[in-house]
Amino acid sequence: MTQFKTRSFRAALLASLGALTLGGALAGGGGLTLPAGTQASALLRDPQGLVRGTVSFREVTGGLEVSVSARGLTPGMHGMHVHTNPVCAPGPDATTGKVVAFGAAGGHLDPYKTGNHATPTTPNTEGHAGDLPMVTASAGGTVQATFVTRKLTLSGLTGVLNRSVVLHAMHDDYASDPAGKSGSREQCGVISAGR
């Protein structure tokens, strides 16, 4: 019995190592070996190219810590997501095909191809990995928020490096496809290594 348990543990370990290797090869940060303590960050710009804030990412116990500092938003809640492409340029809207601000960032990061917009705590196998918690802008239009998500990492299959982060115009209903009815893309930043 003991031997059986040991063997199945080894099999499970080998299977998960295989998954890790595959993840690394598939991801945007594929093949990247990051030194310990490496962080990632994005400079948020509005569609006119004006810098409006920063988002920084660092791996902590229990997940990835995300810190957002932004201005120039309408007061209230704003959907925020990690989008697939490291490009903050105009591009076609997935639903209408019309060229919109930051459309080239593509859809929400969805490594398990769920095709499902969901909550910030839905497992990645059931919803977009890139679905982050909403942030709230003050009456003055500024956002200061820090949270930890278990859905994302710096590199690998769920890695944020070489992706983009987008702040939307409206609140996120955490359910409707493809983006929770959160409206237009107001600010966007490409996520790269470094503070």
Nearer to Cu ion, 5 or 98 (CB): 98
User: Does residue 78 belong to the site contacting Cu ion (CB under 5 A)?
Assistant: no
Least distance (Å) from Cu ion to the CB of residue 82?
Answer: 8
Applying CB under 5 A, what is the total number of residues that bind Cu ion? 3
> Shortest distance, CB of residue 181 to Cu ion, whole angstroms?
11
Closest approach, Cβ 160 to Cu ion, in A, equals: 13
Of the residues 70, 143, 166, 170, which one makes contact with Cu ion according to CB under 5 A: 166
For residue 151, state whether it binds Cu ion (rule: CB under 5 A): no
- Contact (Cβ atoms closer than 8 angstroms) between residue 74 and residue 140: no
Based on the shown chain and the rule CB under 5 A, indicate whether residue 88 belongs to the binding site for Cu ion.
no
- Residue 174 CB-half CA count within 13 A: 9
Q: Is 129 in the site for Cu ion (CB under 5 A)?
A: no
Q: Which of 46, 53, 64, 81 binds Cu ion (CB under 5 A)?
A: 81
The contact set with Cu ion (CB under 5 A) reads: 81, 166, 179
